């Protein structure tokens, strides 16, 4: 009877750890090692008899540098969430000024579609979960690519009453030199619209 109790105790300890992990919303493999670090030598010996799958490996942090880098897990951007003061104003600006397609999806949510990407819109104070830690309107700084001449874009911005902050200027894009024009949306997000045809030196 004593031997049976000695054999079952580590498993009971592990089960307690997993139950506690659910209560604290903490990964079981992390909490189990935290829970066992203060056991007596005899208890640790008993716990070490558990299968590795039960206890789980010790947690590794990406900060420690002991995690092998993945090979091209990410290939493209699908969507970006914008937190805005007014969805109505944002939709009007991006559709009328930049020609993005307004899309309505689940729960009457709004998105701005362009190319193979989209901006999902969250109204400040009414964000959907999960959300960014500090979703604040006006904190976005993003570069968008156009295949049209920037001179045409600048004329269109002027006709729409949008102030150009800077440009056209040379910048460095993800795959080479770009020419960029900077302006802001209704939330004061900084928008950089660029193309890969560089400025001609006069």
The pLDDT, as a whole number, for residue 39 is 58
Tokens found for residue 107: 């729960």
The pLDDT, as a whole number, for residue 186 is 96
d(CA 72, CA 77): 13
* Active-site residue (options: 20, 101, 166, 192): 192
pLDDT band at 131 (very low <50, low <70, confident <90, very high): confident
Torsion 114-88-81-138 (CA) sign? positive
pLDDT band at 193 (very low <50, low <70, confident <90, very high): very high
d(CA 6, CA 132): 47
The pLDDT > 90 percentage for the chain reads 47
Torsion 142-146-150-155 (CA) sign? negative
Q: Is 151 assigned a catalytic role? A: no
Sheet containing strand 101-105, edge to edge, reads: 79-84, 117-123, 109-114, 101-105
Does the pLDDT value for residue 201 go beyond 80? no
pLDDT band at 123 (very low <50, low <70, confident <90, very high): confident
pLDDT band at 28 (very low <50, low <70, confident <90, very high): very low
- Report the mean per-residue pLDDT for the chain: 78
Which of 27-41, 58-72, 168-182 has the weakest average pLDDT? Answer: 27-41
SS (H, E, C) the chain: CHHHHHHHHHHHHHHHHHHHHHHCCCCHHHHHHHHHCCCCHHHHHHHHCCCHHHHCCCCCCHHHCCCCCCCCCCCCCCEEEEEECCHHHHHHHHHHCCCCEEEEEHHHEEEEEECCEEEEEEECCCCCCCCCCCCCCCCCEEEEECCCCHHHHHHHHHHCCCCEEEEEEEEECCCCEEEEEEEECCCCCEEEEEECCCCCCC
First CA to last CA across the chain, in angstroms?
94
pTM value > 0.95: no
pLDDT band at 168 (very low <50, low <70, confident <90, very high): very high
The pLDDT, as a whole number, for residue 177 is 94
d(CA 173, CA 179): 9
Does the pLDDT value for residue 15 go beyond 80? no
Does the pLDDT value for residue 183 go beyond 80? yes
Does the pLDDT value for residue 92 go beyond 70? yes
């Amino acid at each position: 009877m004593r031997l049976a109790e000695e054999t079952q105790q580590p498993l009971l300890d592990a089960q307690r750890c997993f139950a506690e992990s659910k209560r604290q919303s903490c990964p079981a493999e992390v909490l189990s090692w935290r829970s066992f670090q203060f056991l007596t030598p005899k208890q640790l010996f008993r716990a070490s008899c558990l299968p590795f799958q039960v206890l789980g490996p010790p947690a590794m942090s990406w900060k420690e540098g002991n995690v092998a880098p993945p090979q091209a897990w990410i290939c493209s951007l699908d969507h970006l969430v914008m937190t805005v003061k007014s969805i109505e104003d944002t939709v009007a600006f991006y559709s009328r000024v930049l020609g993005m397609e307004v899309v309505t999806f689940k729960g009457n949510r709004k998105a701005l579609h362009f190319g193979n990407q989209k901006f999902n819109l969250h109204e400040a104070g009414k964000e959907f979960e999960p959300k960014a830690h500090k979703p604040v309107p006006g904190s976005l700084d993003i570069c968008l690519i156009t295949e049209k001449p920037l001179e045409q874009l600048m004329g269109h911005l002027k006709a729409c009453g949008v102030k150009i902050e800077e440009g056209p200027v040379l910048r460095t894009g993800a795959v080479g030199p770009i020419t960029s024009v900077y302006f802001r949306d209704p939330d004061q997000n900084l928008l950089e619209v660029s193309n890969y045809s560089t400025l001609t030196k006069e």
